[in-house]
Structures are given as structure tokens and as C-alpha cells.
Amino acid sequence: MNYQTFRSSFTRYACFSVDQAAAVFPGFSRANFGEWIRQGYLVRLRRGWYAFAEAADIPGICDYFAGRIYAPSYLSCESVMSRCGLIPESVVQITSVTSLKTAEFSNIFGEFSYRTVKPELMFGYDVQTVGGGLPFHVASPAKALCDFLYLNPHYSSSAELEGLRLDEDVMDDLFRDGSLENVARRFSSHSLSTKIETLKEMFAS
């Protein structure tokens, strides 16, 4: 298989799976991937998934990869909380929520973590794009916080919640527009609702 022929069929996707390659080129040999990796053309993202090496030059490409290599999923929890200013720390690991089993992948692009929720909790995200149109799903600030609190039950007391150092202005916005309480209500979780009420009391004082 000629690399340039292969590349012309998949460049617009930035990354691709073994199954996609076989669908476009019947009889495609996986041995090509190993050779192209050695030549520096490709990077392995996880088992069965590869990316073009030049994709590293696309700002935000890891957000796109996160949604492609383990789907369905959307960016959430600390990744979104940091970006929207809800927590002060910058976050290196990319954390997503999925209805599949919990998983982690590591490659030259970064660390990708996936936390599991029930299928009915796969809501509260929008579509954004990088690289001129490559789409990925990202949770709203309210959904990211609810996902985080739901998936981390040890954050329960006022002291533990204070330790998150949640930004007062962002929290005020989430309570003012009602988005945080509306999202939490859809979880049907008494524990999560209690945490949201505790936060409401904390930020009302």
C-alpha cells in the first residue's frame, strides 16, 4: 500500500481506526501501520486507532482525539472545570465521561481518562470544533461539575467541597441561571442533590 494514497483518503479525519482503513481498502494489511509509524508518518493513539503525526500541529486536537478513540464520550469533570475557570488548577489529563466501561489511554499526545455513567446521564454537552471543523463534545460547566461530584462521592462535607476552591463568580452564574440545579435534578441522585444544596448555602453566605 502506498502511503500517499492512504493519506489522501483519511487526511480530513486526522485520526482513523483499523476498521475504517479496511472498509476503504479491502485486504488492507496492518503491517503498513507499523512501517509508517517507524517512518514517522503515523502515531498510535490506542489499540486499533492511529493519527497522522502532523496532527500534533493542530491546536486542541486532543479534544477531538478524546471523542474519537472512545465513543460515545464527551469532555467533562476537571477538564471542563479548569477551562471555564471553575477550579484554579490547570489540568493536563483529558477527562471524559462515557457510557462505556472506565478506561485510560496514554500516547504522545497526552493522557486520556474516561469515567463511566449510566446511558441516561449522557446529556448536557455541546458540539465544538478544532482544526477547521473536527468536532468533539464538551459538557457545560454545570454538567461538568455535576459529573465530577457524582463520580467522586468522597466530596461530601462542606470542608471537602471548600477544598475544591470553586470560583465564586462562576458558581454565582450557575446558581443565578438555574443550570446547576436543573442538571443535578436529572441525575435523580439524593447524594448529588445534597451536595448542590450544600454548595448553594456556601456561596449564599
pLDDT by residue (tens digit) across 64-119? 999 999 999 999 999 999 999 999 999 999 999 999 999 999 999 999 999 999 99
Q: What is the pTM of this model?
A: 0.94
**What's the total number of domains in the chain?**
2
Whether 13 and 113 share a structural domain: no
Residues of the chain with pLDDT under 70: 205
Whether 24 and 74 share a structural domain: no
Residue ranges making up the domain that contains 8:
3-57
Whether 27 and 95 share a structural domain: no
| Bridge pairing between strands 94-98 and 73-75 | antiparallel
Name all contacts of 152-157 with Cβ < 8 Å and 24+ positions apart: 153/191, 155/195, 156/191, 156/194, 156/195
Whether 86 and 164 share a structural domain: yes
Whether 30 and 79 share a structural domain: no
Please name the amino acid found at residue 187. Answer: F
Whether 108 and 32 share a structural domain: no
Whether 52 and 66 share a structural domain: no
Among 146, 136, 133, CA closest to 81: 146
Whether 156 and 78 share a structural domain: yes
